[in-house]
Amino acid sequence: MTSLFDSYQLGGLRLPNRIVMAPMTRARATMDGLATASMATYYAQRATAGLIVTEGIYPSLQGQSNPGGPGLASDAQAEAWRPVTDAVHANGGRIVAQLMHSGRVGHEEVAGYLPVAPSAVALPTPVFTPTGPKQAPVPRALTLAEIPGEVQSYVDAARRAIDAGFDGVELHGANGYLIQQFLSSSANQRTDAYGGTIEGRIRFAVEAAAATADAIGADRVGIRLSPGGTVQGIVEDEMPELYGALFAELARLDLSYVDVLATAEPELLIALRKAWPNTFILNPGGQISPSPSTLADGERWLAEGADLIGYGRAYLGNPDLVERFRTGAPLREVGHETWYQGGDTGYIDYPSHQY
């Protein structure tokens, strides 16, 4: 029987185990989007994970979501990531950059731009700004002529990521950000080639993945998806058919992996696993579960056919999560108040378990 502690070959990367540190917003970058020494420490502390996926990194200033988020929108930002990737590799780890274009999940006070989206449909929930939570503005609908530029933003950021020493990139197509906004039947009200039909709604995701794969190699590109996920005002009509079509098109690109949140019924997730020819990462916690996923959750999904298991909240207070799982040591819970507050407290001050 496959175990979380078995090694795995992911493209050109040999993973020592099947535990993935999932992407989690921590808001510890500088206000101009530079990664910091504390961020290098944070990721290096967790380098025993089979694979680390970073927090969402904005690929362009237009795509910035929240204060304190890091970027790969400039060469200076890429250079700031180099000490992070070096630290992870020095500790024996592997790390990919999650590229997250926020689309409508943003505010002029954060990025200096009115957010853009498939359609002029406002996010129904507040967004973070430097002066506190505020209602999201109505975004500006992208014109047909502008869409290739948003695709290119992923390409440019992916190239910078490789230059900065990352082992690959993951496109954030989940949790209500730009790619899922195009997939959505609520956020996407377009009637042109990028909306309306299932073929139209998946087009942006496929084009972004294809262009990124062409730029840095398909074996270094993954994509994160949350089928049927409803956070940030997302509705996806014809969801099983939508993701069946999306997986079929993405499979043609021979991407390294899909990283899927457990936001749909198990039967659909298993069907998507069977339809996907390459590595399938499953995050049992869905979209911010009430409690961290467990070792048993991961083993169950491995038995259902997943190749790797993503853990998010369990990694917040347990940098040595692999060792804790292996030995049965207790997990440390972390309160919400430290997730996004900034500073080193509740970030890099969690010691490893004394075995």
**172 and 101 Cβ atoms separated by less than 8 Å:** yes
Over range 83-96, report the average pLDDT: 98
pLDDT, tens digit (0-9, with 9 covering 90-100), for 278-298: 999 999 988 776 678 999 999
**Model pLDDT, residue 336:** 81
**Residue 177 reports pLDDT greater than 60:** yes
Over range 116-139, report the average pLDDT: 94
Q: Give backbone dihedrals phi and psi of 350, rounded to 5 degrees, phi first.
A: -100, 115
**309 Cβ contact partners less than 8 Å away, ≥ 6 residues apart:** 4, 18, 19, 20, 281, 282, 283, 284, 293, 297, 298, 301, 302
**Residue 353 reports pLDDT greater than 90:** no
10 membership: H or E segment, kind and range: strand 8-10
333 vs 197, higher pLDDT? 197
What positions carry a catalytic annotation? Answer: 177
**Model pLDDT, residue 292:** 87
**Model pLDDT, residue 84:** 98
**Residue 352 reports pLDDT greater than 90:** no
**Model pLDDT, residue 286:** 84
Distance between alpha carbon 314 and the CA centroid of its chain, in Å? 16
- In the chain, the domains with their CATH numbers are 8-338 (3.20.20.70)
Q: Rounded distance, CA 4 to CA 78, Å?
A: 32
**Model pLDDT, residue 291:** 76
**Residue 338 reports pLDDT greater than 90:** no
pLDDT, tens digit (0-9, with 9 covering 90-100), for 49-81: 999 999 999 999 999 999 999 999 999 999 999
pLDDT, tens digit (0-9, with 9 covering 90-100), for 244-260: 999 999 999 999 999 99
Q: Each residue of 167-205: b (16+ CB within 10 Å) or e? A: bbbbbbbbbbbbbbbbbbbebbebeeebbeebebbbbbb
Residue 97 CB neighbour total at 10 angstroms: 31
Over range 128-148, report the average pLDDT: 95
**Model pLDDT, residue 284:** 96
Q: Rounded distance, CA 107 to CA 126, Å?
A: 10
Over range 159-173, report the average pLDDT: 98
User: DSSP letters along 20-51, please?
Assistant: EE-------S-TT----HHHHHHHHHTTTSSE
Q: Rounded distance, CA 321 to CA 330, Å?
A: 10
**Residue 42 reports pLDDT greater than 90:** yes
Over range 102-121, report the average pLDDT: 95
3-state DSSP assignment of residue 9 = strand
Confidence of residue 355 (pLDDT cuts 50, 70, 90): low
Over range 90-107, report the average pLDDT: 98
Distance between alpha carbon 355 and the CA centroid of its chain, in Å? 32
**Residue 36 reports pLDDT greater than 70:** yes
**270 Cβ contact partners less than 8 Å away, ≥ 6 residues apart:** 304, 305
**Model pLDDT, residue 340:** 84
